[in-house]
Structure 1
Amino acid sequence: MSASLTKWLRISLVSLPALYTIYTVIRWRLLAAKQRRIFERLCPTLPVITINFTRTVFGVIDVTNFSIIPTWWMPKLLPKGWQWTTGHDVYQQLGGDAIAIVSPGDRQLWVADADLVKDIVSRKSDFVKPVHIYTILNIFGSNVVTTEHAEWRRHRRIVSPQFSERINLSVLQYAAETVRDMLKCWQSTEHTAHGEVRVNVSNDMMKLALHVISGAGFGMRLDWVTSESDQTLDHGHTMSYKTAVHSMMAGLPLKIILPKFAYLLPIERVQNVKRSFDEFGLYLSEVIRGADKQDESNLLVSLAKAARAEDGGLTEQELVGNVFVFLFAGHETTASTFMFALAMLASHQDVQQRLYEEIQLILDGNDPQLKDIQNLGYTLAVMNETLRMFPPVVAIPKHTTSQQTLGKYIIPEDTRVTLHTVGIHYNPKYWGPDPSVFRPARWFTLPECASSAVKTRDFIRSTTQLKSQTSPSEPEHDKTRSDVPDTASDKPHQSLFSYNRYAFLPYSEGMRSCLGKRFAQVEFITGLAMMMQKYSVHLPDGAQIEEVIESQNRVTLQPKRDMYLVFKPRTST
């Protein structure tokens, strides 16, 4: 080979990648500009932000959440992780509650306006769920989350009625039993002379939520203290249920990203993930097949019986698919709500004191009963305020398949329309001038109930009087201004809470709203009430609340690191 040819080959090896990079950058900019012009032509008053690189991988993963993206790649208004970290700031800076974001590969409309949210969720056929994003959850079978149109209606028709008060009672019983076991463990843990115990709240709340969903969801009772190695193996299994479910949840990220052929590789970690999913599916299949011999005290048995009683019901694979989604959706979200609530109570002792007064007044030292849940209004306010400030899902995606009119905007077809949960939860228009302040009192209708100085006994008395004055013949509350009750026992909260329901989206809204809302409320109120009866919660010495609650948006919003809090036994219980 001649020297000149070798020289040109070397130059080519260096220059071709550089030329391709330049070509790609120019192409991305031209494509992004084209997307921008589409919005500017249809919606000249809509603020548009341009990102000059392809922001999604496989049309699903948003790379702007990744730390590997250089900061200078992002527009100043949209720092990395902006969906969670900026709250409502970007909307305030641009002077509206809707913004367009365009990139070479897509165009998106982000909404932090309750009227637009109401319009979107009420027009299900115009703003459809992009189900392709959720196909990764079809691990065991299609389900109520991953389907659309007639198939979704079939799932919803069978699944929805099973979230009954009978299941809620089971939730309460499993939650109470699990919290009792957890508190016994705290009491036996090494602590100071004053009985204080430092708790890894991240671990314990994850464990608590997993035990409750396993019991009330599948009838699988888990012991708090028994180690996984001491679990007895059921016939035909290579893993105990406890080991299988723990391994499955830990291995879920691998299960989602690995192709099927990867499970043929003799890699211990990969094989353990496969085995845990197989074992979990086998355990649930056994529950389904034995459903006729059991009462309907857990969700899976209720589902199995309902599916068999109806023509065109759910297959066994679809039943397992649905309960897996309930586990996936209800485990981390409830656990993180417990974590954030406890952290905020630790840093707001006045709120914690009022919460304790209500719990003492209503429960009088006893474990909560289902009838008590409706009277623990301030406890629910603590939950709602936590969900407002730390929504498990920071954004809810929709999609247009044709051009649509939304308020004063014309939205082009094939546009991702995103309900920005964080943006609307921190919008001063709906939450007052202090949306970044943890203030559960903001949830009450009566001014005297919102006062931080009011005594809990007076609060209960005033709200009870309000309930007694409300006649069944009175007009129904404006459903955009109140917490719509899921069950009859939730109705008293209608008198206590006043907010725009389309400005509070932790459970989504509309026909595709979360089926497990009441399940989560009963679990949280029961668990928090029992913890606060026995212990007060505090930040560790030297800890700053900003560091404790520092969070990142993974699949759901989670604390960035393990959360440790200090629990002190109460002297009068």
Structure 2
Amino acid sequence: MAPASLSIVALLVGAQIIYTSLRFLRNLRAAQRSGLPYTWSPVHELEAPAFITDGFLRWYYKDYLQQGKGWPRWARFMIKDWQYEDRGRATHEYGDCFLVVTFNSLMCYISDPNAASRLVTRRKAFVKPPDKMKILEPFGPNVVSVEGDLWKFHLGITLPPLAAEAVARLVWEETARQVDMMVAAWRPEDSMKERIYALTMNTMSLAGFGHQAEWGEGDRPDRVPPGHEYSLVSALTHVVSHLPHILLLPRLVLRWSPWPVAYRAANELDQYIDDMLAEERERLERGDAGEAYRENLLTAVLRSNIAAEKSKDAAAIGRTALTHEEIKGNVFIFLVAGYDTTANTALFSSLVLALHKEVQDRILQEIDAVYHRAQKAGRSELSYTDDFPQFRYLVAFMYEVMRVFPIVQTLGRVAVGEQEVPLIKGGHVVPDGSYLVVNNTAIHYNPEIWPSPEVIEPRRWLVADPHGLDPAKPLTPEQEAEIAAGSVPIPGNRRGTFLSFGEGPRACLGRSFARVEFVAIMSRMLRNYRLEMTDHDAEKAARVLRTARLRSGSGPVTLIPPEDVPMRLVPRK
């Protein structure tokens, strides 16, 4: 029996080797037929084995990256979000559009603005990878994970709440309250990363779920209601900090995994959302409008859904309202997007301000000017309606930070049938089922698109042509006049050249939400303080910024700083 068993095993192994080799040859021939430059790799970043290669290679090459050479050529494509450290080197080697052939699939990397824009706007020809999108449904299908008519249906219900003035005012006011509590509780030994994460989580607690959190309440037993193990804020925090485990592992597997806290937190959040949905549905059906602060994302989605439910117009998919699971899924995706993007943008921004005095000085001047105008109008506090639109330099600063530190590094799609990839210099056809990824970092660091791309210069976004302002040269009289006039729309970049918020019909729905929260954080925090490095050692400060530019923290959703940065708030004179 033993020899027979060995023969069967050998036969199966041989069959697998032959099958894998044939698939590789098929992918190789498809790459050759496309006419695009190509290379090969055992694994690419979107394949399952990359979860192993990514962690190992990031650990092994951590010190190597400090040399500023990017990833070794043989390893780069096996690393998740390798593009940030690579800084467009692969583009220089292979071109603006090239293929990576693996044993299992074909990957197309794009750093051509024209092709990038077409890729993200042609939503039927290039769809989000279905297998990857299922991962984003631990609480239910949502506007990010679904496609086609179902996506349009989700969009119609979820977009109005995100664009609602009431929600924007809520975010503005609650962010200011949370910043005041953060500043009051500030201790020199506290972690900047933990402060910012707590601030944005507490804001999302109210904006997303209607729960007004107090500073540090996640650690207080008296904030845990009967029948729960965690407070809402604590459950939210644990879910976000264990997001990779919750997204990748089925709930049953998670229960017996090395991360039981992730399982308990996911169940707790599930229960909280169920309870709040039941309570809000009952209140809305009674016609109880409630207090203004109750109009949060959860209630707004529910209100929009109930209105759709009562509508006589049937949707293309045969129904007019989201299911209970779909409402939960959308509230969850709002949480992840609203928390992660703003928190990490604020972290990188704090680092830039602490190390670039001239940028911080301009922001402080704008903050003082806005407060002065508010006081002349008889207001001691800033309001969303009257004052948010006046923060032009601060909004420009946010966009510039997101260009230099691309919070969302890649945009992935799958070709439905053979599709042409239209490049600035001609076009090529990619095979059906090819993965396509837009390399945001290569576009953001292309000197032909963004002059002197390494330089942080928010004023790029205050002129009519952001691509015509070169920080290495003096401003032209026309540029100075445009900045002084303050009438240029932000952002005003060409299509396909800035993709941190995406572009086209599937662009980030919460970009206005993010702008409001970011401006509220910075304008409130810097009203009476400056941000400085705790350690005044200039050499150490330069090393911190160099590390942030050369190496990412490999976050599960967005780019994060590679290490915490010691900062302090210093009272302004």
TM-score, scaled relative to structure 2: 0.81
Deviations 1:363-400 (A, max 9, x none): 23854322222221110111001111222221111111
Alignment CA distance shift 1:65-1:239 (3 Å): closer
User: 1:363 maps to which residue?
Assistant: 371
CA distance in 2, matches of 1:266, 1:93: 42
Residue identity (%): 25
Matched residue SS, 2:449: helix
**What amino acid sits opposite 1:368 in the alignment?**
L
User: CA 1:213 to 1:270, structure 2 compared with 1: closer, same or farther past 3 Å?
Assistant: closer
Q: In structure 1, which of residues 392, 396, 421 is the aligned counterpart of residue 407 of structure 2?
A: 392
- Cα distance in 2 for partners of 1:117, 1:89 equals 18
Change (3 A) 1:338 1:283: farther
Deviates more, 1:242-251 or 1:408-417: 242-251
Q: 1:340-351 counterparts in 2 under 5 A?
A: 340-351=348-359
Code of the residue aligned with 1:51 in structure 2: it is: S
Give the drift of 1:270. 6.0
Q: 1:537 aligns with which of 531, 534, 549?
A: 531
**Which stretch shows the higher mean deviation, 366-375 or 392-401?**
366-375
Aligned to 1:374: 389
* CA displacement at 1:447 relative to structure 2: 9.2
CA-to-aligned-CA distance 1:70-117 (integer Å, 9 cap, x gap): 8899527758453221122221233x3212111111111111111112
* 1:539 and 1:566 in contact (8 A); partners too: yes
Give the residue type in structure 2 aligned to 1:255.
I
3-state SS in 2 of match to 1:223: coil
What is aligned with 1:301? 299
2:37 aligned with 1:47: yes
TM-fit CA distance, 1:150: 1.4
**Do the aligned partners of 2:24 and 2:101 also contact (CA within 8 Å) in 1?**
yes
- 1:55·1:63 contact (CA, 8 Å) conserved in 2? no
Contact 2:140–2:329 (CA<8 Å) still a contact in 1?
Answer: yes
> In structure 2, how many angstroms separate the alpha carbons of the residues matched to 1:451 and 1:265?
55
Match of residue 404, structure 1, among 416, 419, 429: 419
User: Residue 276 and residue 253 in structure 1: after superposition, are their counterparts in 2 closer, same or farther (change >3 A)?
Assistant: farther
| CA separation of 1:511 and 1:385: change in aligned 2, threshold 3 A | same
1:279 aligns with 2:287: no
Q: Cα gap change, 1:464/1:523 in structure 2, threshold over 3 Å: closer, same or farther?
A: same
Going from structure 1 to structure 2, the CA distance change for 1:289 and 1:413 (only over 3 Å counts) comes to same
Do 2:140 and 2:326's aligned partners in 1 also have CA atoms closer than 8 Å? Answer: yes
**Shift in CA distance, 73/31, structure 1 to aligned 2, threshold 3 Å:** farther
How do 1:157-168 residues align onto structure 2 when only pairs under 5 Å count? 157-163=156-162, 164-168=164-168
Partners of 2:203 and 2:430 in 1: how far apart? 43
- Deviation digits for residues 510-536 of structure 1, max 9, x if unmatched? 111111100000000111111122221
Deviation digits for residues 288-323 of structure 1, max 9, x if unmatched?
334513356211111111101113111222112101
Unaligned runs of 5+ in 1: 190-196, 468-491
Q: Aligned partners of 2:407, 2:279: CA distance in 1, in Å?
A: 30
- Look up the SS of the partner of 2:91 in the other structure: helix
1:227 Cα offset (Å): 5.2
**SS of residue matched to 1:280:** helix
- The answer as to 2:455 corresponding to 1:437 is yes
Q: Any idea what SS the aligned residue of 1:327 has? A: helix
Q: Does 2:241 match 1:250? A: yes
Return closer, same or farther for 1:207/1:247 CA change in 2, 3 Å cut-off. same
**Aligned mates of 1:266, 1:537 — CA distance in 2:** 41
Give the letter for the 1:289 counterpart.
R
Residue 66 of structure 1 and its aligned partner are, at CA, apart by 2.8
Q: Is 2:232 the counterpart of 1:241?
A: yes
The residue type equivalent to 1:342 in the other structure is S
8 Å CA contact retained: 1:179, 1:531 = yes
Deviation (angstroms), 1:553? 2.6
Matches within 5 A, 1:426-465: 426-432=445-451, 434-445=452-463, 462=481
Contact 1:247 1:273 (8 Å CA) reproduced: yes
Rate the CA distance shift 1:428–1:288 in 2: closer, same or farther, 3 A: farther
Distance, in Å, in 2 between the alignment partners of 1:118 and 1:57 is 25
The CA distance in 2 between the partners of 1:291 and 1:386, in whole Å, is: 42
Match of 2:442 in 1: 423
Hey, what's the Cα distance between the residues in 1 that align with 2:401 and 2:280?
36
Q: Which amino acid aligns with 1:558?
A: I
Q: For 1:319 and 1:271, how far apart are their aligned partners in 2? A: 21
Shift of the 439–199 alpha-carbon distance from structure 1 to 2, 3 Å rule, reads: farther
Provide the residue aligned with 2:432 in structure 1: 413
Cα deviation, 1:107-128, whole Å, max 9, x if unaligned, reads 1111111111222223211111
Q: Deviations over 1:446-480 (max 9, x none)?
A: 69997989xxxx9999559746xxxxxxxxxxxxx
Aligned to 2:179: 179
| Cα distance between partner residues in 2 of 1:459 and 1:367 | 35
Taking a change above 3 Å as real, the CA distance of residues 218 and 317 of structure 1, as seen in their structure-2 partners, is: same
Q: Does structure 1 retain, via aligned residues, the 8 Å contact 2:463–2:488?
A: no
Aligned residues: 519
- TM-score, reference length from structure 1: 0.81
What's the counterpart of residue 486 of structure 1?
none
Partner of 1:200: 191
Q: Residues 50 and 75 of structure 1 are in contact (CA less than 8 Å); yes or no, is this contact kept in structure 2?
A: no
Find the aligned partners of 2:552 and 2:72 in 1 and give their Cα distance.
22
SS of residue paired to 1:337: helix
Distance 1:207 1:460 in 2: 39
Change (3 A) 1:57 1:175: same
Q: Using a 3 Å threshold, how does the CA distance of structure 1 residues 347 and 139 change in structure 2: closer, same or farther?
A: same
Tell me what 2:55 maps to.
66
Q: Is 2:351 aligned against 1:353? A: no
Per the TM alignment, residue 245 of structure 1 is displaced from its structure 2 partner at its CA by: 1.9
Q: Secondary structure at the match of 2:560?
A: strand
Question: Does structure 2 conserve the Cα–Cα contact (< 8 Å) formed by 1:244 and 1:280?
Answer: no
**Alpha-carbon separation, structure 2, partners of 1:501 and 1:367:** 37
Distance 1:86 1:428, change over 3 A: same
C-alpha contact 2:218 2:233 (8 A) present in aligned 1? no
Q: Does 2:149 align with 1:150?
A: yes
Q: Partner of 2:211: helix, strand, or coil? A: coil
31, 37, 42: which one aligns with 2:29: 37
Q: Secondary structure at the match of 1:533?
A: coil
Aligned to 1:86: 86
Shift of the 22–379 alpha-carbon distance from structure 1 to 2, 3 Å rule, reads farther
More off after superposition, 548-557 vs 72-81 = 72-81
CA RMSD of aligned residues (A): 3.6
Q: Secondary structure at the match of 2:496?
A: helix
Cα separation, 2, equivalents of 1:65 and 1:534 = 43
Q: 1:343 to 1:143 in 2, by over 3 A?
A: same
Query: Partner residue of 1:470?
Result: none
Partner of 1:113: 112
C-alpha change, 1:68 and 1:305, in structure 2 (3 Å) is same
Query: Which one-letter code corresponds to 1:118 in the other structure?
Result: S
Q: Describe how 1:212-231 pairs up with structure 2 within 5 A.
A: 212-226=203-217, 228-231=219-222
Query: Which residue of structure 2 lines up, in the alignment, with residue 332 of structure 1?
Result: 340
The Cα of 1:236 is off from its aligned counterpart by: 4.5
Aligned-residue offset at 1:132: 2.1
- Counterparts of 1:128 and 1:225, CA distance in 2: 42
Cα 1:105/1:340, change in 2 over 3 Å? same
Output one character per residue of 1:392-421: Cα deviation in whole Å (capped at 9) or x when no partner: 221111111201112211111110111222
Unmatched runs of 5 consecutive residues or more in structure 2: 62-70, 310-319
SS of the equivalent of 1:100 reads strand
Contact 1:291 1:304 in 2 (8 A): no
Inter-partner Cα distance in structure 2 for 1:447 and 1:139: 42
Provide the rounded CA distance (Å) in 2 between the counterparts of 1:247 and 1:102. Answer: 38
Q: Using the alignment, how far apart are the partners of 1:181 and 1:73 within structure 2? A: 45
- Aligned partner of residue 143 in structure 1, secondary structure: coil
